[in-house]
Amino acid sequence: MKEKFERNFTEQEQVRRDKYQNLVKENRDPFVITKFERTHTIGEIIGSFEKYSKEELQNLKQKEIKVAGRIRLFREAGKKAVFANIQDQENNIQIYGRQDELGDVDFEYFRDLDLGDIIGLTGTMMKTDHGELTLRIKKYQLLSKSLRPLPDKHAGIADIEEKYRRRYVDLIMNPETKKTFQSRTKIIRKIQEILDNKGYMEVETPILHTINGGAAAKPFITHYNALDRDFYLRIATELHLKRLIVGGFEGVYEIGRIFRNEGMDTRHNPEFTSIELYVAYEDMEFLMNLTENIFKECSMLIQGKTKIEYGGHKLDLGKSWKRWHMVDAIKDLTGVDFWKKMTFEDAKKLANQKGIKLEKHHSTVGHIINLFFEEFVEDKIIEPTFIYGHPKEISPLSKANNEDPRFTDRFELFIIGREYANAFAELNNPIDQFERFVEQLKEADAGNDEATGMDIDFIEALEYGFPPTAGIGIGIDRLVMLLTNSESIKDVLLFPQMKPRA
């Protein structure tokens, strides 16, 4: 069995392994160490001592400092001294070791350390003649031996796929990568803060569902051995969160992983993070205002401003966002007026004239309206824009508009041709909801593998009484991409799923 996984090491890797074996023989094995007590992080050292001059540090009565980090730079200053740089999570600092202070044996082992090794240091602070803050080492301890060499400091990881596959190396080499994921956490915390301050409750709902419901998407399927039946990985958190509104909670939200068995590209990942929020007694306009506020506050937190650049475009998140009915958008850009009531055959002729291909399940005027929007409008939107008034046929969970029931009180937020949010005035009529599910089943039979399934338990929940409710889903990954100026969704996922190596 071991032979199956036999590995061939490069010359550099073998040298490092030989060094490690020598350390073991000399009773210096770093991997047996369980703890190193730090007195400071590197950032705390810089904050405490950067203000002093070289002379002031020489005269300052100092306590010994203990700090730890990874060696990123190493250079000898003659045969009896070494300068190096170490980094921790946030910062890096120069260190200085001398043979006469470390002792002959320890100094030789210190000189033999490699880039990537993790060390614990004890010493005092000084400044060099060039004014660089430096830790003067009194003692050191090797805490972990790096058995693989780091990529070249300047070239970094040349293969972009390796950057995603070996994210841990990318994080070591690239401070900007680390900053992106720190920003991601800050954005999520800010959204939680905004919603918590409004009195809404964060909850957790099941990932394994018996019905592929809550969105139009193709699901992943798995088998639940204890129940001996197939389950779907959730494509949305919607239907369980709505059950909680039925149960009496008036504002609930969930931030969590969603799974959609669809394509992978720079915008899409089959496993992604969303937030869904449901608020009783509110409407679509309320969610538009809340969404604007969330994006603006997160932009101020990460960028320090609401005027940002992304994808070669300058955006102003601070001004009031455009609100555009889907039919008006189509009319403005194509001249085709879907406000006029028409038969499916009339709409089909318009689609044929414009070169729009219909699938078997595209069986209503509403489907064709949506196809027109996707073909002629979606990628033309640059500034933040709420597209509202989606056709009833493509919005099985949204309440019909009172003035024109062909359309729903639903909106999607688009920025530079990408969808960032999807929101409804939630359908709370169980009779209507049942009929909408039936229509979705017909679409599934006609070949639509993204159609919503029938959820009888959800229908029964609505029959107990579901108040007028506003609900929204926001894509966390795309929001982070926007606010960190990240080109690909893989840039904001710590460990994106990758195609197998050849």
Detail the residues annotated as belonging to a binding site: 412, 419
Helix (H), strand (E) at residue 304:
none
Q: Point out which residues pair with 324 in neighbouring strands.
A: 387
| 278, 253 contact by CB (below 8 A) | yes
CA distance 91 to 175: 9
CA distance 407 to 394: 10
Helix (H), strand (E) at residue 232:
strand 229-233
SS3 for 72?
strand
307: phi then psi, degrees, rounded to nearest 5: -95, 115
The burial class, CB within 10 Å (0-12 / 13-18 / 19+), for 353 is: exposed
Return the number of other C-beta atoms located less than 10 Å from residue 64's C-beta: 10
**478: Cβ–Cβ under 8 A, 6 or more apart, which residues?**
267, 418, 419, 420, 489
Closest by CA position to 373, among listed 408, 338, 422, 321: 338
Q: Residue ranges for the binding site for Mg(2+)?
A: 412, 419
Q: Point out which residues pair with 412 in neighbouring strands.
A: 387, 422
CA distance 258 to 122: 47
Q: Which residues of 204-214 are buried (b: 16+ CB within 10 A; e: fewer)?
A: ebeeebebbbb
| 473, 257 contact by CB (below 8 A) | no
Closest by CA position to 108, among listed 120, 121, 99, 116: 99
Q: Which amino acid is at 10?
A: T
Q: What is the CA radius of gyration of the chain?
A: 29
CA distance 230 to 220: 10
